[in-house]
Chain A
């Protein structure tokens, strides 16, 4: 200040000016203080920096700390903000007070019972000694920072642990960041990728480089891409298939900050695709994929060759263009069914390009992919169908054959249980053919027969050889004979799997056979008889012939003798004796023998003729009254009976059927025989009687003659057999003829005799 009054007046004017300027500056400062956005707190140090008391506090601070200025003016900071020491700010106040140097207390969280928040503090000392703290509540900022950090961490985690290889590329095409999966996918480490010159080419397969380069360029230009498949050449050299998708990244101002790409190893998938693709492509069956409306989306080569269309053609067609059997409605119905159950299997017919219709077996599955697709495979079963049809036709033929053939046919399993049979057999058993299944012979036939059938079955199954047997069979209670053919049936390996049987009734045939056999036997017997007749005849006729010849010769000898005697001049006594002998003995004897022999031959020949005639004579068969016939026969030989001084008794005789003259001859013969073979020691008595039994009449001619020794009893019926030849007259044919006559009447003759006692000749003849 100057001593001059005028000067004093300018001094007080300057003083007033200075005070005015100070007031303005205070006001400015106050304005600033109150309106600044940061909180400002002014402290007065007490006790040389032991404590700090609030002197001023701005609005922003009030806002931040939520406390009024009035509440804290004059109070210690420690009192108002109890945790200021823990916060670390108090220490800063003290340092600043001591040193006078301003300090920045970095962002920290202040927390006491009243308030919590993040504060950023700037502390300085005023020239006047006050401590000023300028601070901001950066809680929000901190929160968002943390949130960002958290989200960053999340994304980092995701990126780090992602299976996919994630890489961020700068707009210039250089890798900015990549996740650990890169090593798994490419074999290169993160560092190697980040440092890779000419990224991405070193890790792309040579053949795909051009494509990848194009895609990379377009990505740099801001394009997006997905499902881009290419091959990666891994660090160690192996090749994998990868699928990549990428998008550009923009900042807030929509500036491109590069692009991100996500790559995954699809080798397995590719392999599977290839595998299945190859399988389908190489499959013999045709294969197509079509959508829900039936449009064909994909086909394999087999389908093309099956239908005759090429791939392009088929891809422009739909089910209705191919299917030749179903209408659209049916196809739609089919589609619905498959949708419901997810798969279907059926047969249908397809029309080929050349118009030919083929039968196909379809197997189709529904895949819920995109809008829904049907995967179907087709097998050409035309030939199978044809074979089936042919088989059916053939089966029909055999079925018809089986049905209509009169033979009975059946099929049994290895245990003799019926599996099937034909109509003919079934009707025998009074069942339907299909009812026989499961039954056995014991259900239908008598036990004995069933056991026999089963035994045969077992044997045939074991031996594996076909057999033809004649056996019994019962139908409707009637016993028949059948011829059964049983054959084991084998499978392709040769194991027996069953038994086929065919049989038919041969009862009539058998009967015919029996008759034939009987006739043959008869024929044989007759032939034998004829032979023996011829043999006997030739011998028995020879005998007398020898005599005739012999004695004829003797006669000529005698004649020679007489002639020589006659012409001789010298008649000796011997000569006379010889002539006499010749005339008296030799010649008569010779003649006698000759005549006897001729007679014998005559008889023999007559007898033979008789025997022959017997076969050709027509029999006049009628009921014979045996009483009258016998009486007549006896009457005829009455003379012989008287001469033999014998007696003949006839009892009441039953009638019989026969030819009267022949039967009469029979009994005449028997009677004359009885008279021939009388026992000289007693008078001959012949007894004739008869009886009836069943349809036969049995007669007996009984005598008391010499009887017949057992060894002769059969022989007497033999032709030319004579018991006592020269003594009793006869040619030995009588009984032979008698037996022949009886046989022709279907009767029987036999003899009972005791040597020395007599003989009984029995004859049975039919009476009905």
Chain B
């Protein structure tokens, strides 16, 4: 991921967002991070952006960290909608949620998520996980939106 890639974080818990942000920073990720508190906001942003004329998008790289339990439009729906759009489906979606149920994991993968990560309860593990995500992000390549 390029340094100018934008990390979209759909997370209803503000505290969680902050912790994620801090720990990503600690992992060396200093990309722009956008916070969306609910599914509706997330979709609005993405679809508005996808409708923008090409030059305004200028090859922007996006990655979405998505919690399933977000209000208004739920995480599954958001994932579904993104993966149904021809352009937006290129955006890798990493599910980051407390939900650990196997059927949720399966459903997300069926809908097309890239990865499913369960938020650990213990903070140390949470910290570590987020930092691992950061290191992961630093090595991956993303298809940019045209």
Contact = CB atoms under 8 A, between A and B. Distances in A.
A218 interface: no
B14 A546 contact: no
A539 B71 contact: no
A723 B123 CA distance: 28
B122 interface: yes
A725 B71 contact: yes
Contacts of A554: 19, 22
Interface residues of B, number: 21
A593 B71 contact: no
Given A546-B119, A725-B71, A551 B15 contact: yes
A547 interface: yes
Nearest to B19: A550
Interface string B119-133: 101111011000000
A725 B123 contact: no
A712 B14 CA distance: 23
A553 B71 contact: no
B71 A543 contact: no
A589 B15 CA distance: 9
B71 A724 contact: yes
B127 A550 contact: yes
Contact of B18 (A549, A589, A722, A724): A589
B123 A596 contact: no
B19 A551 contact: yes
A726 B12 contact: yes
B34 interface: no
Contacts of B12: 725-726
Interface residues on A, range: 20 to 34
Contacts of B19: 546-547, 550-551, 554
Given A539-B99, A722-B71, A726-B37, A547 B13 contact: yes
A759 interface: no
Nearest to A536: B69
Nearest to B67: A543
A539 B71 CA distance: 15
A722 B71 CA distance: 7
A545 B123 CA distance: 9
Contact of B98 (A539, A551, A589, A724): A539
Interface string A531-558: 0000000010011111101111110000
A597 interface: yes
A545 B22 contact: no
25 contacts: A542-B121, A543-B13, A543-B16, A544-B15, A546-B16, A546-B121, A546-B126, A547-B19, A549-B122, A549-B126, A550-B15, A550-B19, A550-B123, A551-B19, A552-B123, A553-B124, A553-B127, A554-B22, A589-B18, A596-B15, A724-B71, A724-B72, A725-B12, A726-B12, A726-B37
For the complex of A and B, the 10 pairs showing the least CB-CB separation, nearest first, are: A549-B123, A547-B15, A550-B19, A593-B15, A550-B123, A539-B98, A553-B123, A542-B121, A725-B71, A542-B98
Interface of A: 539, 542-547, 549-554, 589, 593, 596-597, 722-726
